[in-house]
Amino acid sequence: PASPAERLKKNRQQARTHKMIQIHETDITTLSVDAIVNAANETLLGGGGVDGAIHRAAGPKLLDHCRGLGGCRTGSARITPGFALPARFVIHTVGPVWKGGQSGEAEQLRSCYLESFRLAEESRIKSIAFPAISTGVYGYPSIEAASIATQTMLEHESDFDVIIACCFSAADVTVYETALGRKPPAPSN
């Protein structure tokens, strides 16, 4: 009989073969998953980028609901209904603003993913999609951010039916494929 450690290893290998972590190039607001994650700001009152898109697609009830939450610290997360979105829930997390990498940005970004997964598990969420948190207006370098994102996804893949890395450009798809070891890195000259 296999030891718990052996079984865990086998589960992990199976999860990997089944590619529970999927990379999609799409608008995250279109995804019919249990939860989509929002790269919000500390006010939780909406903004540009993916935050603006999520509020537009969810409708004004999302903003009304967020007003009652009193904001969210960087690295933390809050869960709300998805209102008019196809997703049942939105998990709002506040990524760090990139200040050069020496201000705890990596720990804060990792915390965004971990807190989002924690809330998802509490709500029995089985399918979840993440945007590339902090890599837009907040300026976090994409490759470093994807390394943190995919690491936390691999740590949680056995707890979900599917985890989607939702990319908004073909370039980001390549970054995530490389981070997951699914594609050799482009040759450097």
Binding site for ligand ADP (CB under 6 A): 27-29, 39, 49-51, 53, 95, 131-138, 166, 168
Give min distance, CB of 55 to ligand ADP, in A: 11
Nearer to ligand ADP, 15 or 141 (CB): 141
User: Contact, 134 vs 107, CB < 8 A?
Assistant: no
Nearer to ligand ADP, 51 or 144 (CB): 51
Helices (H) and strands (E) in the chain, counts: 6, 6
Nearer to ligand ADP, 167 or 189 (CB): 167
Nearer to ligand ADP, 15 or 63 (CB): 63
Give min distance, CB of 118 to ligand ADP, in A: 19
Give min distance, CB of 52 to ligand ADP, in A: 8
Nearer to ligand ADP, 125 or 129 (CB): 129
User: Contact, 37 vs 54, CB < 8 A?
Assistant: no
Distances in Å between the Cα of 120 and the Cα atoms of 10, 91, 98, 117, 129 are 24, 8, 26, 5, 11
Give min distance, CB of 58 to ligand ADP, in A: 12
Q: First CA to last CA across the chain, in angstroms?
A: 51
Instruction: Please state the φ and ψ torsions of residue 54, each to the nearest 5 degrees.
Output: -65, -45
User: Contact, 166 vs 159, CB < 8 A?
Assistant: no
User: Contact, 162 vs 20, CB < 8 A?
Assistant: yes
Give min distance, CB of 172 to ligand ADP, in A: 6
